[in-house]
Amino acid sequence: MTDVTNQTPEESTRGRPRSSVADQAISEATLGLLLEEGYGGLTMAGVAHRAGVSTATLYRRYQSKEDLVIGVIAAMKEERDQAETGSLAADIRSMADEACAAFTTGGGQLLRSLIGEVQRNPELGEKVREHVIVHRREKARRIIQAAVDRGEIPPPADPEVALDMIGGPFVFRALVTGEPMSPDFAESLTSLALRMLGAAPDDGDEGSSGQQEPTEAHP
């Protein structure tokens, strides 16, 4: 097997730059095997073989199968993570678009393949929460608090429940109904989230920063 890192003896010393080619090959191999074999059928040796790298190269990056899977998920998350805009409407829409993209590509299939294993494997479940879910919730929490500080919305009565209500529809569609996560879905979710958070009615349309006078709500 040819190692795609093309290592020389000098390169095998500790602290050398990682090969982006190898990283990409490992990520693609891990995702492919997870979707084909499931978490139970995934092995470090199998990933190394499919990626065209040595097992030594793989273990230098990841100490275990759990670390490998989390690393792949985290890399997918980082590719899509967008900067905050300073507008609640734009920030929520950006997060909705990110989630739609994640769930309609390999990420959605990956979630389905892991959801059962997370329940059986506490160590994997803890790492998923620590490295993926906590990050996403913290970003959403920060966006909401920034909107409160700008005067766009009042402080939510229960911020954690608000986060659940914004993120829940993606998981429900991915795991239960199978309905599409289209731009129309992202737009509708953004509009409903803004109303739930108490934003001015035209916030979602204008993408304003909350400087306009709030309008009176009508039944």
Residue 190 lies in a domain: yes
Flag whether pLDDT at 8 surpasses 60.
Answer: no
Neighbours of 142 (CB within 10 A): 12
Judge if 56 and 83 occupy the same domain: no
* 86-108 tens-digit pLDDT: 899 999 999 999 888 877 776 66
First to last CA, the chain: 69
- 157 located within any domain: yes
Judge if 102 and 57 occupy the same domain.
no
Residue 195 covered by a domain:
yes
Look at residue 160 in the predicted model and tell me its pLDDT. 94
Whether residue 80 is found in the same domain as residue 46: no
Q: Are residues 53 and 81 in the same domain?
A: no
In a domain, 156, yes or no: yes
What are the helix (H) ranges across the chain? 20-41, 44-51, 55-61, 65-80, 88-104, 106-120, 122-128, 134-150, 159-172, 183-197, 203-206
Residues 122 and 195 occupy one common structural domain = yes
Name which of 87, 88, 89, 96 is nearest 205 in CA terms.
89
Residues 75 and 142 in one domain: yes
Alpha carbons within 13 angstroms on the beta-carbon side of residue 187 total 4
Whether residue 207 is predicted with pLDDT greater than 60 in this model: the reply is no
What is the reported pLDDT for 186? 95
pTM over 0.75: no
pLDDT at 16 over 60: no
Q: What is the rounded CA–CA span in Å between residue 107 and residue 86?
A: 27
211 within domain boundaries: no
Tell me how long the chain is. 219
Q: Identify whether residues 189 and 90 lie together within a single domain.
A: yes
Is 214 domain-assigned? no
For residues 102 and 174, membership in a common domain is answered with yes
Residue 158 CA to residue 48 CA, distance in Å, equals 46
Is residue 111 located within the same domain as residue 19? no
How many domains in the chain? 2
pLDDT at residue 12, as a whole number: 40
DSSP assignment string, 152-210: SSPPPS-HHHHHHHHHHHHHHIIIII-----HHHHHHHHHHHHHHHT--TTHHHH---S
Q: What is the dihedral of CA 28, 119, 162, 205, to 10 degrees?
A: 30
Amino acid at 48: A
C-alpha to C-alpha distance for 105 and 39, rounded to whole angstroms: 18
> What confidence tier does 79 reach under pLDDT thresholds 50, 70, 90?
low
Instruction: Give the domain range for residue 55.
Output: 10-61
Last residue of a domain, one of 61, 85, 103: 61
Q: Is residue 3 part of a domain?
A: no
Does residue 76 lie in a domain region?
A: yes
> Is the same domain home to 191 and 83?
yes
CATH code of the domain containing 22: 1.10.10.60
Do 56 and 133 have their domain in common? no
Cβ atoms of residues 198 and 154 within 8 Å: yes
Which CATH number characterizes residue 89's domain?
1.10.357.10
Mapped onto helix, strand or coil, the DSSP state of residue 43 is coil
Same domain membership, residue 174 and residue 96: yes
Q: What is the largest CA-CA distance in the chain?
A: 73
Chain segment 22-70, per-residue pLDDT in tens = 889 998 999 889 888 888 889 999 999 999 999 999 999 999 988 898 8
